[in-house]
Amino acid sequence: MLLKIFKGTRPRVISLIIITTGTVWLSAFLNPQIPASFQYETSPMPLYSLVKSIIGGSALAGVIFSLLMSSLLIYLLVNFNTTLFFINERTFLPAAIFLLITGLFPQNQLLNPVLPGAIFLMLAIIRIMGAYRKPATAFNFFDAALLISIGSFFYCNLIWFAILLFIGIALLRTVNFNEIALSFLGIATPYVLTIGLYYVIGKDIGAFFNDVKINLFGELQTYYFQRLTIVVLIFCGLMILISMAYLITRISIQKIKSRKTFYLLLWTFFISLALYIILPSVSVEMVWITGIPASYILAHYFVFVRKKLLPEIIFTVFFILILLVQLLYIL
């Protein structure tokens, strides 16, 4: 019953998503925390440093900022499918699933650089898919590169997702040297402008490069998973594997644009997973990015799987488990 309601498009679904948002974020408002001394906090990138200076040391203000960023990202998630219609059904389900996935780590529901970075990544994915069937040189890839590069001025590890630009070119177009060059130019532009600005105003350029190095290759503190979190992670992982297998069996019968959109989202998922496994500078904060493709993959499964009882049970159990994680964190 719960899944059936979330799959709908009636106004009551929006109300339910708002209630779910309040429930999932309740622990953050009851016990607002100041961010721990991670590299991206002690050596913040320029735009994140600006956000920190505006918010000051207020933990509550940081939670409010992150909730606003999360709400904007949820809007973009729904709007992306509404515009491209690649799930082939108008639904708010990706928003609900994203809320639940990111609610798995209540410790992340505070001021952090990943959320604004994820918004820029989402906008970049939208721009990449906007290049579909555009004649001649598409400047969408320059725009997308610029967005990813600007996003890395919040969360530096976002720069690795520039790989999506070249995957997008290979998926959507006949490989065009101009578009590859524009992609590199878009990535480099914010950094070149920043270095020039630092030089003009007399700021330490070496310190900027050092911050970039620390954010990309420094080692974060070890995150210790609670038993319930491990159980929910395993459950979530199985859901994603089942949904991914289901998507792969149906992807060949989808429209070309839908197929290419899902391929790009799958690459986004695998890149985020690879960064978490490979880089010592990446930890569970990556869930804000991994949750983007995962929400679409799961939504596709829940919308189209023929057996109705099993997905209803899976979704309801997942919903309850996330609420338990949040309750445990409060207690």
pLDDT at 102 over 80: yes
CA distance 269 to 263: 10
For residue 255, give Cα distances in angstroms to 84, 131, 143, 260: 11, 16, 25, 9
Contacts for 228 with CB less than 8 Å, ≥ 6 apart: 321, 324, 325, 328
Report the alpha-carbon distance of residue 271 to residue 239 in Å, rounded: 19
pLDDT (0 to 100) of residue 39: 87
Residue 317 confidence (pLDDT) above 90:
yes
pLDDT above 80: residue 124: yes
DSSP string for residues in 266-297: HHHHHHHHHHHHH-TT--GGGHHHHHHHHHHH
Give the pLDDT band of residue 330 (cuts 50, 70, 90): confident
Whether residue 137 is predicted with pLDDT greater than 80 in this model: the reply is no
Q: Identify the three-state secondary structure at position 139.
A: coil
- In whole angstroms, how far apart are CA 317 and each of 76, 231, 307, 312, 322? 26, 12, 16, 9, 9
Instruction: Please name the residue that has the structure tokens 């996935």.
Output: 101
More confident: 118 or 1: 118
289, 293, 299, 305: CA torsion to nearest 10: -140
Whether the predicted pLDDT of 177 surpasses 80: yes
Q: Count the neighbouring beta carbons within 10 Å of the beta carbon of residue 243.
A: 22
Residues 149/186, Cβ–Cβ less than 8 Å = yes
Q: Tell me how far apart the alpha carbons of residues 292 and 45 are, in angstroms, rounded to a whole number.
A: 23
| 165 token code pair | 């630009």
Banded pLDDT at 72 (limits 50, 70, 90): very high
Whether 62 contacts 111, CB under 8 Å: yes
Q: Which amino acid is at 11?
A: P
User: What's the mean pLDDT in 129-156?
Assistant: 91
Rg of the chain taking only CA atoms, in angstroms: 20
Residues 244, 167, 188, 216, CA torsion sign: positive
What residues have CB less than 8 Å from 28, skipping those under 6 apart?
63, 66, 67, 106, 109, 110
211-229 residue pLDDT tens:
999 999 998 877 888 899 9
Scanning the chain, the segments in alpha helix (DSSP H) are: 2-7, 11-24, 26-30, 39-42, 46-55, 59-84, 93-102, 114-129, 140-151, 163-172, 177-201, 205-217, 227-250, 256-278, 287-304, 309-330
pTM above 0.85, yes or no: yes
**Owner of token pair 């059904």:** 89
Amino acid occupying residue 125: I
pLDDT at 181 over 80: yes
**Domain range list for the chain:** 2-330
CA distance 195 to 206: 10
Residue 25: partners with Cβ closer than 8 Å, 6 or more residues away: 63, 67, 70, 103, 109
How many CB atoms are located within 10 Å of the residue 314 CB?
20
Write the single-letter amino acid at 322: I
- Report the alpha-carbon distance of residue 291 to residue 286 in Å, rounded: 8
Residue 9 pLDDT > 80: no
What is the token pair recorded at 86?
Answer: 């690649």
